[in-house]
Amino acid sequence: MAKDQKLPSLKVAIAGLGTVGVGVIKILENNKDMIAARTGRVIEIVAVSASNRKRDRGIDISKYDWSDNALDFTNRDDVDVIVELIGGSDGIAKELAKQSLTKGKSFVTANKALIAHYGTELAQIAEDKKTAMRFEASVAGGIPIIKSIGQGLAANKINRLYGILNGTTNYMLTQMEATGKDYEDILEEVKLLGYLESDPALDLDGIDAGHKLAILSSVAFGVKTDFANVYMEGIRRIKLVDIEYANELGYRIKLLGIASITEDGLTQRVHPCLVPLSNPIARVDNGFNAVVVYGDFIERTFFEGRGAGEGPTASSVVADIIDVARDHTTPAFFIPVNEMKTTNPVSISDRFGPYYIRLHVEEKPGVIADITAALRDENVSLRIMLQKGSEQDGSVYIIMVTHEAYEKKVMNALDRINGLASVIDKALAIRIENL
């Protein structure tokens, strides 16, 4: 196109001006010419909305129209794309998504909770209205994992993936190991740094990672989003002793999301894992995310990058806006909703593999015999047992590594062990994943 010809514009309204929203504005303004050259369109911000107009965000928003209610964007003829960065699975975020798509406006979001709960429903509205819905930024921040799976790996049948999907908990586990501080101390530091979600349970209990895993499962396996059947377990019970003993045994502890699809159904689980030190994902530290995808022709592909923050997440949001500017209106999950499968969930109780078990017990005769009897009766055999030196209170840590066993058998044995009078703290079991 000649320089004197005016490029067509794509007009954008942004709902939510937190860290990511500010980052989106910076990218669209700072890289405006480059983006226009790459898309053949000028991406123009016409309106913004947030809860507090007067807050100092370090950028000038006075040149954009302001709305106290983001739903107003859906009635504007001069808005082509609505970007939702409010958060939350319900409330105004959900209503904004439905109204935007129903009125034929493209919708871009970083909201993993919204997509995990309502992604299939919203994708159907987008298809019916022949408009675009994009959510690259909802998973793994700056890693373009959704496009990589749905486009770059589109020629592959994918049947398995796993990854570190929450940067906050990965940071905490890394810092516990690096500093020798226990969970509670690192938790206080993370709170002061502002790394936790407004509801800390989203990070600490694996819910945030569960949202992301449900989205990845849909994109990778062509199944309807099924967050309700994601098994989730967080890091609250991990102690420094576990990290130290894991290292001694040749492992690191990582909170992983693991998904696979077989003839038996769909497995989706988030929980702490002992990962061999030789596995590349064991070396992904601090706020970084990583995803490993298995395809029938690529075998294994490894993605790593920052999982959150203004720059990485905003970059993914803008990439989605650019998709819209290029008139990419492929289905949100890369196949039509009516072709997405509904699968049976595979229960965590059906898992078969080895386990790390930590017990804190009174140091007295007969304790080991009682513990091993409970495991024996459930056909759980031990590969390793370590007894660490006495604590000042006369207690001792017993560390065990089992051979492969069914989850339900291990948990039955631990229920019995927890009932022993000599047990001080509830037994901790961490799944060992030889990925």
pLDDT tens for 63-87 read 999 999 999 999 999 999 999 999 9
Q: Give the start-to-end residue ranges of the domains of the chain.
A: 9-138, 145-306+338-349, 350-432
Average pLDDT over residues 32-61: 94
The token pair that represents 201 in the structure block: 């349970």
Give CA–CA dist 315/88, Å, rounded.
21
Helices in 112-206 by DSSP H: which ranges?
A: 112-128, 145-147, 167-179, 183-193, 201-204
Provide the whole-model pTM. 0.95
pLDDT of residue 270 exceeding 70, the answer is yes
Give CA–CA dist 67/56, Å, rounded.
17
Q: What is the pLDDT of residues 106-164, one digit of tens each?
A: 999 999 999 999 999 999 999 999 999 999 999 998 899 999 999 999 999 999 999 99
Average pLDDT over residues 389-403: 85
**Contact between residue 359 and residue 417 where contact means Cβ atoms under 8 Å apart:** yes
pLDDT of residue 355 exceeding 50, the answer is yes
Q: What are the backbone angles phi and psi of residue 147, rounded to the nearest 5°? A: -65, -35
pLDDT the model gives residue 390: 66
Cβ neighbours, 10 Å, residue 209: 31
Collapsing DSSP states into helix, strand and coil, what is residue 118?
helix
* Cβ-based neighbours of 72, under 8 Å, separated by 6 or more: 49
| Bridge partners of residue 352, in order along the sequence | 406
- Tell me which CATH homologous superfamily contains domain 145-306+338-349: Dihydrodipicolinate Reductase; domain 2 (3.30.360.10)
Confidence grade of residue 389 (pLDDT, cut at 50, 70, 90) = low
Q: What is the mean pLDDT of the chain?
A: 95
Give CA–CA dist 212/198, Å, rounded.
17
pLDDT the model gives residue 5: 61
The residue type found at 404 is: E
Identify the CATH number of the domain defined by range 350-432. 3.30.70.260
Q: What CATH topology corresponds to 9-138?
A: Rossmann fold (3.40.50)
Hey, which residues are catalytic here? 212
The residue type found at 150 is: G
